Amino acid sequence: MKRKEFLRLAGAAAAGSLLAPDSAVLEAWAGGAGGTRVKVKLYELKLRQAWGLSRGTWTTRRNCYVCIERDGIAGIGEAAPIARYHETAESAAAFIDKARPVLERDLGDYAVRFGEVDAAGPGEHAAKAALDMAVLDWVGRRLKVPLWRLLGLGREKTVTTTYSIGIDEVPVMQQKVRDAGDFGVYKIKVGTSDDRKILEGIRAVTSKPLRTDANEGWKTKEEALEMINWMAGLGVELVEQPLPASRLEDYAWLKERVKIPVFADESLIQASDLPRIAPYFHGVNIKLMKCGGVQEAVRLAGMARALGLKLMIGCMIESSLGISAGAAVASLFDYADLDGNLLISNDPFRGVRTVKDKIVLDDKPGLGVEGDLF
Ligand code: MG
């Protein structure tokens, strides 16, 4: 097997031909055998505003991008690694390197290839999602059909996305809501000791429906119940992950008493979690980066629907590449939270369009994404 070549940036200077003289590209390598060439780049996404959750605040996110070239066709994918599951952009790149032999066979058998990628190692779901996206993009481009068509889906259903408001000082959060005036529903990040002040502040500047996400931030079931039922009176439609993921017995207690639906996010990573957690929630937030890609998200959506759960498709801080992959299957879901690309200022790709708060799928083959990163 031909060895891959590593190219690293020393400061802001480009160290090789794969790297543009752009300080956002941090590391790149390329390698290939069996007629497939795989390129990987790490790229630092810059958030328009500080991104505050109950577990921390970020101004940048480092994601890993992959490009697969075979038979003169390229497919691209994105990994937005999730620190909570011990993933980094570097670990995603290492997994992609490990899974490269899988890509040296017919990519048209994309379901088979996904199974092999998944079996290449445990965890690293964001890297698996990137490879799944890249293979599906390649197949779509080869067959000259958009991904949503390849998967037997349509685009008649209008999918609207929420716009997420990260935790910050209340006046800053109020301004974020004012600046996102086109959106019909906001997803407000909570899970702090100031949640009442935050939500009263948001309510003072908008009468639109709200959804909230505590990211496991509340400490006790009693605190969560009091907050959730208080929020219900404020026009909050649903709440995501109020308590730590492991506390299923507290979720059982909560489910009997809440006035609005409780959705699992951190409690659901992959399909094997679903039968165990389904009785304790009204709905689930499925993300490509959590479960391992488009194919797994579709399978998970079918399972969750069969178990009587409501479905939300969510995202991480992602470029238009990852968001376009999610958008292709969003018609399968009841709710969409696909705004990661709208929260960054240096999106290296152009893909699915969000017109006001509506996601508009186009006819371009594969993911329909263009960009200069590769
Ligand atoms: Mg969430």
Q: Specify whether 59 is located in the same domain as 168.
A: no
Determine the distance separating the centroid of ligand 1 and the alpha carbon of 301, expressed in angstroms.
17
Q: In terms of domains, do 55 and 157 share one?
A: no
| pLDDT given for residue 33 in this prediction | 63
Model pLDDT, residue 15: 37
Q: Kindly state whether residues 271 and 247 are assigned to the same domain.
A: yes
Q: From ligand 1's centre to the CA of 204, what distance in Å?
A: 24
Q: Do 323 and 194 belong together in one domain? A: yes
Within 13 Å and on the Cβ side, how many CA atoms surround 155? 15
What range does the domain containing 101 cover? Answer: 5-144
pLDDT of residue 7: 52
pLDDT at 116: 97
Note whether 164 and 139 are same-domain residues.
Answer: no
Q: Where among 94, 116, 144 does a domain terminate?
A: 144
d(CA 143, ligand 1 centre) in Å: 35
Residues 66 and 83 in one domain: yes
Q: How remote is the CA of residue 263 from the centroid of ligand 1, in Å?
A: 9
pLDDT mean for each 10 residues of the chain (374 residues): 49 40 65 82 95 92 96 97 96 95 92 97 98 98 98 95 96 97 96 97 97 97 98 97 97 98 96 96 98 98 98 98 98 98 97 96 97 92
Q: In b/e form, how buried is each residue of 139-175, taking b as 16+ CB within 10 angstroms?
A: bbbbeebbbbbbbebebeeebbbbbbbbbbebeebbe
Output the domain CATH number for residue 115. 3.30.390.10
Contact 318, 346 (CB under 8 A): no
What is the predicted pLDDT for the residue at 20?
Answer: 47
Does one domain contain both 177 and 322?
yes
Cα–ligand 1 centroid distance for 168 (angstroms): 17
Looking at 87, 122, 144, the residue that finishes a domain is: 144
Instruction: Give the total number of structural domains in the chain.
Output: 2
